[in-house]
Every structure is written in C-alpha cells, then in structure tokens.
Structure 1
Amino acid sequence: MQFLKDFFHLFYPKLCANCENNLTENETVICTFCRHDLPLTNFVDYKKNKVYEIFYGRVSIEKANSLLYYRKKGITKKIIHELKYKGNEDVGVFFGNWLGEILKENRQLSDVDFIIPVPLHPKKMRQRGYNQVTKFGEYLSKHLKITFIENILIRISTSKTQTFKARFERFNNLDTKFMLKNTSIFTNKHVLLIDDVITTGATLEACIKELQKTKGIKVSIITMAYTE
C-alpha cells in the first residue's frame, strides 16, 4: 500500500498552495515554511477585537474572531483564492481542522448549538459547484461536536460581483438578501455563522438580521480571515 502511495505521489505530487513546492507526506495544503509565514490575528478575546468591533452599532452578536489577516498581496489571499476559484476544497479542511482544534481547546464557543455557513446564491453555486465554506464548517463540526446545517439560510438575491468595487461602495451595498427557511429551529439557540473572509461585514450583517428574526437566538461569527 505504501508503495502505491509513493508511486502515485511521484507522478501526482501535492503542491503547496502558496509556494507550489512539493508537500511532504506529513504536510497538507501548505508547506511548513509557508505556514510559519501566515499572518495570524492572535485575537485572544472574542468580544474585544477588531472583528467584533466591525459590528458595533449595526447588529448584536455574542462573539467574533478570524484566524488570519487578509491583505491585498499576501499568502492568505493566495490560499483562499485556491479555495474559491481553483476548486481546492482541502483548504477548507485545513482551516476547519486548525480552527477546530483552537476552539476545542479554548472553549470560547462551547455553548454553540449549530454551525451554519454564509450561503451562495444558487446561480453562483451552480457555476462553482460547491460552497467554499462547507468543508470548513464540516470539520469545525467534527472537532466541536456541534451540528453543521446547510441550506436552511438561503441567499435569495445578489448584487453584481463586488471584486472591483471600492470598499465604501461595498459597505453601502444592501442588495444581498437572505431568507431563513425554518424560523423555529434556532429558537433560543446559539448559532455560529461562518464565512471565508470579512471585509466590510455587510454580507454577514445581512445574514444576522435575517437570523435575528428568530426568538431568543444568539449569533457568533468565525471566519478564516479578516481584511485589515
């Protein structure tokens, strides 16, 4: 069996999502050298950090955090680009395992009842074939022993791509709308809403406003990265 693995790896080597060098058998997604270069936020307090502060005066949330900083030019952007546009869902597994271990150890979100992803619009889902945060959520769920639910919060409208829009324009874009298909399942529950990157927080805010139509719901946020 090991011979077959070695043979397969010889002709189909796994490459680092950043530097594109061959990964060793014990490495996943990125090599050890690139992992050390990842810009960790190191936000220890989940209620007093820059991610949490994004939502001040906009919506009420319990806790929030992101693992990495996301910069215009940098390793985080390249890795998440692999996830979103090149079909490398192993990136989601990588972040799910990493953050899952952190959250399991620090117990900051030990009272969460459900994990749900920010949904894609059906058209985008058909084009891409997957939601880039699904694997992230599934592996968080495995580590935390918390139920992961997809397709209960759905995106019912979407604006045109925001890739080239100015930050101010994105912040004021309220065209994206969401709908909660079951308005009772989260009654008096604590929900962890997950996404890949927070920029202005507008998309997450729209999700939270829809979720908060449910009586007694509490919402926290975890993302792979946060835009400075």
Structure 2
Amino acid sequence: MFRFIHLLIDDFVNLLFPTLCLGCKQSLIANERVLCSACRINLPETNQHQEPYDQNLLNKFAGKVPVRFLASYLHFTKGGVVQNLIHSFKYRGQKEAAKELASWYGSQLKIESKQLQEIDVILGVPLHLSRYKQRGYNQADWIAQGLAEALNMPMVIDVLNRNAFNESQTHKNRLERWENVNKVFSIVKPDLVKNKNVLIVDDVLTTGATIEACAIELVRAGCKSISVITLAVADR
C-alpha cells in the first residue's frame, strides 16, 4: 500500500515538474534516468574498449607517458547529444548525470573488457579550488564514482592537486593546451598510488594534454601503470 501511494506521489510530482531527457528534452517515463530509451539506444558509442591498443588514441601519449589502456565511452560532436550531456553536468549542475553515464559504461566494461581487472585505484582529474567552489563539485569525481561502483573498484580523492587556475582548454591547440597545464598538477598523497595500477578519469578527451600532465606526476610518484577512461572523445 505504501509503495502504491509513493508511486502515485511520484507520478503527480512528475506531472507538475516533469524530469526531462537531457538529450531530446522530452519527459522521462518510469525507470528512465538521464536519457529516454530512444536517446540511450542511439548514443554514439565508440566501442574503443574492444580495441584498447588503438594507435590513434595511444599516439596522443606516445613517447610521453606509458598508457596501458585508453578508452572513451562516446563520440563527442559539436551540437550533438553528447555535448548536451557533458554541458548538463559540467555547467548546469546535474552531476548525477555524470555518475549515471559512468555507471552505464562501467557495467559494459565489466562484461566486455578484461583490461581493467588489474586496476588498483580510480581517481578523477582534479579541479582548482576556486573552480570547485564555483561549481560546487568536480564532475570527474562523479564519473570516477560511477565507474568505481559499477566495477567494484576503490576510488581515491585528493591524490592530485591542481595548483593553478588555468584557462579553459576549449579553443586551444595541442601545444597551447600542454603549455596551459604543464606543471599545474602535483601529488599530495603519493602513498595512495605508489606501486599501484592507476585509472585516471575525466569527462572529454581532446588532445590529451590534461591527462598527460596528471599522468606525469603519477609516474613520478611511483605508480606501476596508467590507464585512462573518459566519458567522451572529441573526434578530430
């Protein structure tokens, strides 16, 4: 009886204040989260985890840091549904959407990929404190949390520190991005990553400069290996 009343209340609230699909902006129905079924089915998945040694991706880090596994969940195109999703939790406060998407991908990885079985810890790329206060959360940590729960792996925070409030990377080329993040990060808790297989998590992979800068500091701290997962990859 209580469950029935609870469902009625939920339906009434959704009627007055409908939860909208972040893709098409249509109302979500029961058991739909973040995206409606149609938008979720049509997500532009990369399936990169099935080819974890894709040279087009690994070349982003070739000769710089030893990346053992690299995969992104979705293709990012300007004006597309994935951009709407990324912007929803990066700029519009819908951090739960980041965790939900990561959970979907984590569940898929658990079944379809063996490359992550040796991962010891998962961590998100940190925000500078001023950006964190402005946003109220770090979207990469929410992505890391979704993956950690789906993969049943430990997540660590406050391992890396972002020392400088660097400019947005959006309109920069690879060299400019690297100059923008070079020496921005430092290790705060090296014992949490020393001799560990570390999975770095972020929202979008473009040139890889930010991930590279994080990875360099982790390698210096003595981590055993670096793997990378992002929710999206910018197709260029």
SS, match of residue 115 in structure 2: coil
Q: Residue in 2 aligned with 1:170?
A: 177
Alignment-mate amino acid for residue 34 of structure 1? C
Alignment-mate amino acid for residue 68 of structure 1? L
Q: Residue in 1 aligned with 2:84?
A: 78
SS, match of residue 227 in structure 2: strand
What does 1:168-207 align with in structure 2 at a 5 Å threshold?
Answer: 169-175=176-182, 177-207=184-214
**Which is worse superposed, 104-113 or 47-56?**
47-56
Residues 123 and 198 in structure 2, CA contact (< 8 A), matched pair in contact too: yes
Give the Cα separation in 2 of the matches to 1:108 and 1:166.
31
Q: Residue in 2 aligned with 1:69?
A: 75
Unaligned runs of 5+ in 1: none
Determine what percentage of the aligned residue pairs are the same residue: 36
Give the Cα separation in 1 of the matches to 2:215 and 2:221.
10
Residues 83 and 91 in structure 1, CA contact (< 8 A), matched pair in contact too: yes
Residues 158 and 175 in structure 1, CA contact (< 8 A), matched pair in contact too: no
Residues 49 and 65 in structure 1, CA contact (< 8 A), matched pair in contact too: no
Give the Cα separation in 1 of the matches to 2:81 and 2:10.
29
Give the Cα separation in 2 of the matches to 1:128 and 1:176.
23
Residue 46, structure 1, aligned to residue 89, structure 2 = no
SS, match of residue 190 in structure 2: coil
The two structures have a TM-score, normalised by structure 1, of 0.93
Give the Cα separation in 2 of the matches to 1:150 and 1:216.
15
Aligned match for 1:14, one of 5, 11, 19: 19
Residues 192 and 222 in structure 1, CA contact (< 8 A), matched pair in contact too: yes
Q: Residue in 2 aligned with 1:91?
A: 97
Give the Cα separation in 2 of the matches to 1:216 and 1:81.
32
Give the Cα separation in 2 of the matches to 1:216 and 1:139.
23
Aligned match for 1:60, one of 50, 62, 66: 66
SS, match of residue 197 in structure 1: strand
SS, match of residue 32 in structure 2: coil
Q: CA deviation at 1:116?
A: 0.4
> Which structure has more helix as a fraction of its residues?
2
| Residues 33-88 of structure 1: CA deviation (Å, up to 9, x unaligned) | 22233211122121225333321122111111001111122111111000100011
Give the Cα separation in 2 of the matches to 1:49 and 1:29.
32
SS, match of residue 220 in structure 2: coil
Q: CA RMSD in A?
A: 1.7
Residues 158 and 176 in structure 1, CA contact (< 8 A), matched pair in contact too: no
The two structures have a TM-score, normalised by structure 2, of 0.90
Moved over 6 A (4+): none
Residues 190 and 218 in structure 1, CA contact (< 8 A), matched pair in contact too: yes
What does 1:20-169 align with in structure 2 at a 5 Å threshold?
Answer: 20-43=25-48, 44-105=50-111, 106-166=113-173, 169=176
